[in-house]
Amino acid sequence: MDLLDAIDDVSTRDWEAPDTEGTIRFAMVGCGWWTRQAAIPAVQGSDYCETTVAVSSSTEKASEVADEHDTIEAAITYDEFHDGAAADEYDAVYVCTPNALHLPYVETAADLGKAVLCEKPMEATAERAQQLVAAAERNPEPLYVGYRMQTDPVIRRTRDLVQSGALGKPIFVRGNMSQHLLDVIPDTDQWRLDPDLSGGTTLMDIGLYPLNTTRYLLDSDPTHGRANTEFDQASFSETGDEHVAFTLEFPDGATASCTASYGAYRSSSIRVLGTEGEVRIEPAFYPDEPRTIHLSTDGIEAEIDADQCNQMLAEFDYFGHCLLAGEKPHADARHGLVDVTIMDELYDSAEHGETVAYDF
């Protein structure tokens, strides 16, 4: 049962080298709920990272965060960040602002020669994401896009399984991620609903999970895509995509059929059906629930349970480890650009009812 052995270990960090020493000091740019409730607590548990600087719209907001954490030595405004304030106090920048504001902070980080962990999606439009790539590529320090699924051992083992050929040739990938946005964040004025700040709501924010995970599992980028979007709640009228279904065709003939909704019941799953077997991860994407890998091939029917994984901790540890070990993170700015380009074009497809072509 080599196959089962291969995916049975759903906790090992296969990227981690023993005896990696040192600490990467982070400036947190943007102090919204995700930074405060997910990122900073994750970094507190990290072996390789600590939070030393808080950056927000006002000194008061930044100080409020700083006061909660002993490790934070400086609380500065966005303007002060751009002016290079407290630059000696951090080695890397975590950018967790609205999507359309990632670019200026990445540009400043490039000017300052700081490593960057940029939240996904990388920017709000393909044009801005392209500019972000330019900034990242003139920066001697690495930029990593925070695809926390990619650091999760459950996803990584599944990728190993798919890449091993144990399922035969992949034919279909099917994924979904859904929950009620306005229950999670009860604010109808939030930036995710403003197309100028987000570039789109559901596809950009959670459709990206099945999308990027498909690319990651297949280790391939699509050639064609199409999508349709719908909305029921008035709050989604400006971006139009409360619900989105999209299909991506890959060069070797695999097709991904994915859905995402910020108005549907919470659910997440991804599955790969190959010529010789199928693997399904369900639940798949939410960090607060244990996941199960369901594997079916000739002669094997298996369910492998995996504990919860603090994906944000894994993400910070992975990037911190990369920086300390001098390794290049997998999801660089060009990897992030591909997703933003795909989604930008999928919105066009939804608007015009036509298949769009990609050339990656």
Shorter beta-carbon distance to a copy of itself: residue 47 or 230: 230
End-to-end CA distance of the chain: 38
Shorter beta-carbon distance to a copy of itself: residue 125 or 212: 212
Shorter beta-carbon distance to a copy of itself: residue 123 or 241: 241
Closest CA to 94 of 148, 19, 156: 148
Contacts of 319 (CB under 8 A, 6+ apart): 24, 49, 92, 115, 117, 144, 329
Shorter beta-carbon distance to a copy of itself: residue 227 or 322: 227
Q: Which two tokens stand for residue 287?
A: 């960090």
Tell me if the bond preceding 104 is cis, omega within 30° of 0: no
**Closest distance between a copy of itself and the C-beta of residue 227, in Å?**
9
Q: Interface with a copy of itself by CB under 8 A: which residues? A: 167-169, 171-172, 174, 176, 178, 180, 224, 226, 228, 230, 232, 243, 245, 247, 249, 253, 255, 257-259, 261, 263-265, 267, 273-278, 296-297, 353-355
Shorter beta-carbon distance to a copy of itself: residue 60 or 354: 354
- Structural contact between residues 181 and 201, judged by C-beta atoms closer than 8 angstroms: yes
Shorter beta-carbon distance to a copy of itself: residue 156 or 243: 243
Distance, in Å, from the CA atom of 249 to the CA atom of 240, rounded to the nearest integer, reads 24
Q: Are strands 92-95 and 115-118 parallel, antiparallel or unpaired?
A: parallel
**Closest distance between a copy of itself and the C-beta of residue 349, in Å?**
9
Shorter beta-carbon distance to a copy of itself: residue 280 or 335: 280
**Closest distance between a copy of itself and the C-beta of residue 228, in Å?**
6
Question: Which phi and psi (to 5°) does residue 165 adopt?
Answer: 85, 5
Please count the other Cβ atoms lying within 10 Å of the Cβ belonging to residue 134: 14
**Closest distance between a copy of itself and the C-beta of residue 45, in Å?**
30
**Closest distance between a copy of itself and the C-beta of residue 224, in Å?**
7
**Closest distance between a copy of itself and the C-beta of residue 16, in Å?**
33
DSSP string, 88-119: GG-SEEEE-S-GGGHHHHHHHHHHHT-EEEEP
**Closest distance between a copy of itself and the C-beta of residue 6, in Å?**
18
Please count the other Cβ atoms lying within 10 Å of the Cβ belonging to residue 318: 26
